[in-house]
Amino acid sequence: MSRRAVFIDRDGVILHSPVEGGIPRPARSAAEFAYLPGVGEALDLIRKASLVPVVITNQPDVARGLTTRALLEAFHERLRQDHGLVHIYTCFHDDKDYCVCRKPAPGLLQQAARDLDLSLPRSFMVGDRWRDIEAGFRAGCTTLLVRHPYSWDASPDVSVSSLLEAAHHIIRNPDTERTPWTSRRATSTT
């Protein structure tokens, strides 16, 4: 039987995201790299529940020339070293590239499911923006939104205040399973 995963967005869920003009952005220097509170404890809970933590992250600043792939890889190495996050899937494209891996497309989640033998309908997507929630819906996962002031336009299954709260919710609701479906956002009347 396929394993269950918790797909986790990086910026705004694991790492602090600086906000400029109401829009979050990833850290662009080592000085800006900072974990959000409770991340280590949340990841421990996820692993103790036999769930696979998988980081799923859009990093369009590479395509935009605002950061380098080398800096992102250095950040990802810190995630591996500090928290044992060995499964990190990254899209380096911008919207104009129309790739299948950039959230809200579910490509990264689907690729991770193939690579790691994961059951998408029995897994969870934790993010802080509508793109994360939409990717989770499209992949067939249960979605949890870490609320921030910029998270107003997402419609998750569950809203939480942090990755730690998400982990507690997931542990309390272990048998969640979703039937794959298409976008809630695309079918919304509002």
**Residue 188 pLDDT level (bands cut at 50, 70, 90):** very low
Q: What is the DSSP string of 94-139?
A: -GGG--SSSTTSSHHHHHHHHHHTB-STT-EEEESSHHHHHHHHHH
Comparing 100-104, 137-141, 164-168, 182-186, which segment has the lowest mean pLDDT? 182-186
Q: Is the pLDDT of residue 184 over 90?
A: no
Q: Could you say which architecture CATH assigns to the domain 5-187? A: 3-Layer(aba) Sandwich (3.40)
Report the alpha-carbon distance of residue 124 to residue 140 in Å, rounded.
Answer: 9
**Residue 189 pLDDT level (bands cut at 50, 70, 90):** very low
More confident of the two residues 181 and 32: 32
100-154 pLDDT, tens digit per residue, is: 999 999 999 999 999 999 999 999 999 999 999 999 999 999 999 999 999 988 9
Q: Is 84 helix (H, G, I), strand (E, B) or coil?
A: coil
Report the alpha-carbon distance of residue 125 to residue 136 in Å, rounded.
Answer: 5
Specify whether the CB–CB gap between 67 and 26 falls below 8 A: yes
40-98 pLDDT, tens digit per residue, is: 999 999 999 999 999 999 999 999 999 999 999 999 999 999 999 999 999 999 999 99
Q: What pLDDT does residue 55 have?
A: 98
Q: Is the pLDDT of residue 181 over 60?
A: no
Q: Is 50 helix (H, G, I), strand (E, B) or coil?
A: coil
**Residue 179 pLDDT level (bands cut at 50, 70, 90):** low
What's the pTM value of the predicted model, to 2 decimals? 0.92
Q: How far is CA 189 from CA 9, 102, 120, 153, in A?
A: 27, 25, 27, 14
**Residue 17 pLDDT level (bands cut at 50, 70, 90):** very high
Q: Where are the domains of the chain?
A: 5-187
Strands 124-127 and 5-8: parallel
